[in-house]
Amino acid sequence: MDWIKEFLKPEFIWAVIGLILFLLEFALPGLIVFFFGIGAWVVAGVCLFADISLNVQLVIFLVSSVLLLLALRKWIRGIFVGHVYSRQNAAEDIEEYGGHKVLVKNAIIPPQTGSVELNGVDWKAQADCQIPSGQMVEIIRRDNLTLIVKPLKMEGVAQ
C-alpha to C-alpha distance for 111 and 124, rounded to whole angstroms: 12
Q: Shortest CA distance to 148 belongs to which of 120, 116, 122, 119?
A: 116
pLDDT at 159: 46
Q: Which mean pLDDT values do the consecutive 10-residue runs of the chain (159 residues) have? A: 73 92 85 88 93 92 91 74 55 65 93 89 92 92 89 62
Class of domain 94-151: mainly beta
Question: For residue 86, what pLDDT is reported?
Answer: 53
Determine the pLDDT at residue 93: 54
* pLDDT confidence of residue 33: 87
Q: Which pTM was predicted?
A: 0.47
Write out the residue limits of the CATH 2.40.50.140 domain(s) in the chain: 94-151
- Name residue 67's amino acid: L
Looking at residue 154, its pLDDT comes to 63
